[in-house]
Amino acid sequence: MKNIYLSICTLILSSILLVNQNGFAGQKVAASSIAVEDAYIRETIPGTSISSAYMTIVNSSDKNIKLLGAVSNISKRIEIHEHTMTDGMMRMRQRPNIEIVAKSNVVLQPSGYHLMIFDLKQPLKQGQNATITLQFSNDASVEVKLPIKSIKQMKMSPQSNHQHH
């Protein structure tokens, strides 16, 4: 009986430590199935207070997840947007989320999905870094440090490589 009591107490203490360390039990496991690669933010054009962020988000879990949004101390407003070609016209529209299929990835790139960053608190200059926290449907949050790149350094990927999920 004493060993059972000791085992239960150890299990409870371990759970409490995990909750205190991660905010709630399971967050670390959920976030570990999400990886962010090749992330960067476009340098602001002089006289503007907007920019955009690009990256590849990898979902290595067995379940589909959605990118729901992003937050950062560089701006109070970051939205998910998508460029689409409609009747020969490139259009940009806000999207509520981006689905990332299990064991797959989504590329946020110029002329496709991207994060629009509005009302920047200050201009973003090449060589600086900014931190954005991505928020996902599985209750995971992933903090990403992104380098600021000059518009001249940005790679324009062909639209055919863009994955829609």
Domain presence at residue 164: no
Quick one: pLDDT at residue 31? 58
Contact between residue 76 and residue 119 where contact means Cβ atoms under 8 Å apart = yes
Contact between residue 112 and residue 42 where contact means Cβ atoms under 8 Å apart = no
The least confident of 2-16, 19-33, 46-60, 88-102 is 2-16
Checking 23-32 for CB contacts under 8 A at 24+ apart, the result is 24/139, 26/139, 27/139, 27/140, 27/141, 30/61, 30/136, 30/138, 30/139, 30/140, 31/140, 31/141, 31/142
Pair (66, 146) in one structural domain: yes
State which residues form the domain around 7.
Answer: 1-32
pLDDT bucket at 15, cuts 50 / 70 / 90: very low
* Whether the predicted model's global pTM rises above the 0.75 cut: no
**Tens of pLDDT, residues 88-130:** 899 999 999 999 999 999 999 998 999 999 999 999 999 999 9
Pair (149, 133) in one structural domain: yes
Average pLDDT, the chain: 80
Q: Measured between alpha carbons, how far is 137 from 141 in angstroms, rounded to an integer?
A: 9
Torsion of CA 53, 56, 57, 63, to 10 degrees: 140
Pair (74, 127) in one structural domain: yes
Residue 8 has pLDDT above 50, yes or no: no
Domain presence at residue 109: yes
Residue 19 has pLDDT above 80, yes or no: no
Domain presence at residue 46: yes
Query: What 3-state DSSP class applies to 126?
Result: coil
Pair (26, 40) in one structural domain: no
Pair (87, 25) in one structural domain: no
Across the range 64-85, mean pLDDT stands at 95
Integer CA distances (angstroms), 19 to 10, 15, 64, 120, 141, in order: 14, 6, 25, 34, 15
Pair (23, 42) in one structural domain: no
Pair (128, 89) in one structural domain: yes
Question: What total number of domains does the chain contain?
Answer: 2
DSSP letters, 66-94, are EEEEEEBTTBSEEEEEEEEEETTEEEEEE
Across the range 141-163, mean pLDDT stands at 69
Quick one: pLDDT at residue 151? 78
Higher pLDDT, 68 or 89: 68
Pair (45, 113) in one structural domain: yes
Backbone angles phi and psi of 158, in degrees to 5:
-65, 145
Task: List, in order, residues 6 or more apart from 77 with CB less than 8 Å away.
Answer: 117, 118, 119
Q: Name the residue type at position 16.
A: I
Pair (56, 96) in one structural domain: yes
Task: List, in order, residues 6 or more apart from 6 with CB less than 8 Å away.
Answer: none
Pair (10, 70) in one structural domain: no
